[in-house]
Amino acid sequence: MPDYDLNDDALQQAKKLIDDGEFDDRTEWSDAAPSADDGNAEINAHGWDGYAAWHLAVDPDAGEETKKRHHFPYGDFSKVNRAALIHGKQRASQNGHDEIERAFDELLQRLDAKR
C-alpha cells in the first residue's frame, strides 16, 4: 500500500463545510459516493484543485493531474457525507494511514457535534 500524505486543503474545506451545515448524515456512502463521471464533471467545473479538495489523501508518487493521485473522498462534491467519514476512517485504520485516520476522526467528531 502506498504511503499517502494528508491533503490539508481538503481537511480545511471539509471543516468549513461541516461548520456551515453542508453535510449529509442520512445517505449511505454506497448511495452517495460519486461516480467516475461525477469526478470528471467536478474536474471540468473546478479543475484538479477542486477535485483534490474532496479527497483527504494524496499519493505523492502519482502524477499531479490524475485521479490516481487522490484518495479517501469525504463527500459527493457538494456536501460532506457522514458515512464517507466512517468508511474512510476504517479504511485508513486498516491500512496503517494514521494521519489520515486522525483527520477522518476529527471530521466525524466535528460533524457529530453539529448534528
pLDDT at 1: 65
pLDDT at 2: 77
Query: CA–CA separation, 19 vs 36, rounded Å?
Result: 28
Give the pTM: 0.95
- Assigned C-alpha cell, 54: 474532496
pLDDT at 37: 97
pLDDT at 62: 96
Q: What is the pLDDT along the chain (115 residues), one digit of tens a residue?
A: 679 999 999 999 999 999 999 999 999 999 999 999 999 999 999 999 999 999 999 999 999 999 999 999 999 999 999 999 999 999 999 999 999 999 999 999 999 999 9
- Contact 50/73 with Cβ under 8 angstroms? no
DSSP state of 53: T
